[in-house]
């Protein structure tokens, strides 16, 4: 059973000011960043729909590729934000789909000295610049009062155990999260839950330390207490980990779209 320190919010990846919550990867419009590396060539075409096809975003080396992906999803990747934190935009934002093939020849060689997160962030800035150039995309950051979840300890207490494992690792796929190690394992869990639920999750458990955590739920059931295929993520949290998500409202940083235009075909 983990020991509890006085409750405090554990924050990841960003410094917060005042009483606002902190959220990973706060949105910043491309023009407010320092000049990013640029793709050498980029072809953008509106996708022609076919029956039973899938959507793909591929980030590999110096290339960025999308197949059958709408601009809303591309923005989520470029700004590392869930759909709920991207506001406004044209009527075709989530309906028109795009095939993009962008390549940088040697521009990303310097990424060999970066860690994986730094390289990924550099690529996101490159995609932001591409969207600004070809979609004439303009946006600004704004704080709005929106629904959030507070991650708290349920009545019977947390059910996971600490670990002495060196390093850290996590895996998240459809209906499952596995975490091990890391100095603030529960804070990392809150971050992963936010990605699954599309809503900010603030860690208010007060639990610090390294733990081994596994959570399994029915991935298509996010609102009800139970499902024939398995428990909802809310029920699974209480039954498997002794934690609970409490709906609240709080200040959330969002990306507000000021302008986006259909790109010229090439």
What pLDDT, in 10s, does the model give residues 52-104? Answer: 889 999 998 889 999 999 999 999 999 988 888 999 999 999 999 999 999 99
Looking at residue 264, its pLDDT comes to 77
63 contacts 106 by C-beta, under 8 angstroms: no
pLDDT cut 70: percent of the chain above it:
76
Quick check: 156 pLDDT over 80?
yes
- Please, which pLDDT band fits residue 115 given cuts at 50, 70 and 90? low
């Amino acid at each position: 059973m983990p020991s509890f320190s006085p409750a405090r919010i554990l924050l990841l990846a960003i410094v917060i000011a005042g009483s606002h919550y902190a959220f990973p990867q706060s949105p910043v419009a491309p023009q407010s960043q320092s000049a990013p590396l640029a793709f050498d060539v980029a072809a953008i075409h509106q996708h022609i729909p076919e029956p039973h096809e899938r959507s793909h975003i591929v980030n590999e080396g110096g290339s960025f590729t999308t197949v059958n992906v709408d601009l809303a999803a591309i923005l989520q990747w470029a700004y590392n934000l869930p759909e709920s934190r991207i506001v406004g935009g044209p009527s075709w934002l989530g309906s028109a789909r795009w095939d993009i093939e962008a390549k940088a020849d040697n521009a990303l060689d310097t990424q060999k000295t970066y860690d994986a997160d730094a390289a990924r962030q550099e690529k996101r800035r490159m995609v932001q610049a591409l969207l600004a150039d070809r979609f004439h995309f303009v946006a600004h950051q704004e704080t709005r009062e929106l629904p959030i979840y507070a991650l708290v300890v349920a009545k019977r207490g947390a059910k996971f155990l600490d670990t002495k494992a060196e390093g850290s690792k996590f895996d998240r796929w459809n209906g499952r999260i596995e975490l091990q190690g890391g100095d603030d394992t529960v804070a990392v869990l809150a971050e992963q839950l936010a990605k699954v639920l599309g809503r900010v999750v603030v860690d208010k458990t007060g639990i610090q330390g390294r733990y081994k955590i596994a959570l399994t739920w029915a991935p298509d059931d996010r609102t009800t207490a139970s499902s024939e295929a398995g428990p909802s993520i809310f029920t699974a949290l209480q039954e498997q980990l002794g934690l609970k998500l409490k709906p609240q409202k709080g200040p959330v940083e969002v990306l507000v779209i000021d302008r986006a235009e259909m790109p010229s075909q090439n």
